[in-house]
């Protein structure tokens, strides 16, 4: 396909699986249960694309106390329940992956356990394993570049030869900070009017809302870089 990119790095939530609306709802439910009033829309705007560790630190600072030791287990169980009931893959992701000839991997703010559930539920886990990387493996999650640089290092590809597929401002920011080309996807059910412009403002070189566009978009961006 495109000689200028040797690796395609996918975010998970909102790019491979249409999970953002579901996960924000579950996150808000658990936080409210522990005395932190927040709506799913507020979770979306504050925490989308960021690691659970970062979100929890902010919540605990505002609460003035620690969340329960088993908070992540409660959130995992709520996510598992809602994913089993409602989670779907992003439309046309299977055919897009079939048409991409470069190696692919996942770099997500979510935990490995969460990705095992979400990617397993949507029959995508085996398409990427073992090349699935989590913010839990680096010091700083998105919007820091650490996770993208870690993924590139693990895949033995130079950052400038990586193209990142992201749906969040922290993700786009992190990919650009890593010296990578970033494409912004705004085809998830959580994406509202103006979302594409927001991703471009964060540094996405191009945006798209249909996964069937992705293989040709990668090739075109590569040709333009010649």
As annotated, the active-site residues are 11
Contact by Cβ (8 Å): 159, 152 = yes
Strand order in the sheet with 181-185: 132-134, 104-108, 7-10, 162-166, 181-185, 206-208
Distance CA 59, CA 35 (A): 10
């Amino acid at each position: 396909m495109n000689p200028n990119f040797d690796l395609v790095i996918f975010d998970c939530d909102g790019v491979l699986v249409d999970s953002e609306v579901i996960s924000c709802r579950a996150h808000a439910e658990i936080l409210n249960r522990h005395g932190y009033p927040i709506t799913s829309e507020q979770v979306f705007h504050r925490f989308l694309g960021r690691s659970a560790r970062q979100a929890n630190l902010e919540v605990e600072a505002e609460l003035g106390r620690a969340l329960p030791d088993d908070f992540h287990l409660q959130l995992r169980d709520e996510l598992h329940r809602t994913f089993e009931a409602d989670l779907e893959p992003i439309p046309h992701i299977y055919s897009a992956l079939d048409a991409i000839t470069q190696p692919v991997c996942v770099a997500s703010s979510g935990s490995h356990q969460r990705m095992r559930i979400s990617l397993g539920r949507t029959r995508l886990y085996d398409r990427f394993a073992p090349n699935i990387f989590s913010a839990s493996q680096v010091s700083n999650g998105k919007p820091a570049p650490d996770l993208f640089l870690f993924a590139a290092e693990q895949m033995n590809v130079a950052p400038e030869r990586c193209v990142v597929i992201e749906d969040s401002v922290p993700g786009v920011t992190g990919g650009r900070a890593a010296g990578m080309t970033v494409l912004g996807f705004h085809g998830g059910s959580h994406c509202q009017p103006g979302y594409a412009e927001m991703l471009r403002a964060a540094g996405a070189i191009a945006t798209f809302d249909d996964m069937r566009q992705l293989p040709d978009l990668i090739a075109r961006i590569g040709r333009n870089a010649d």
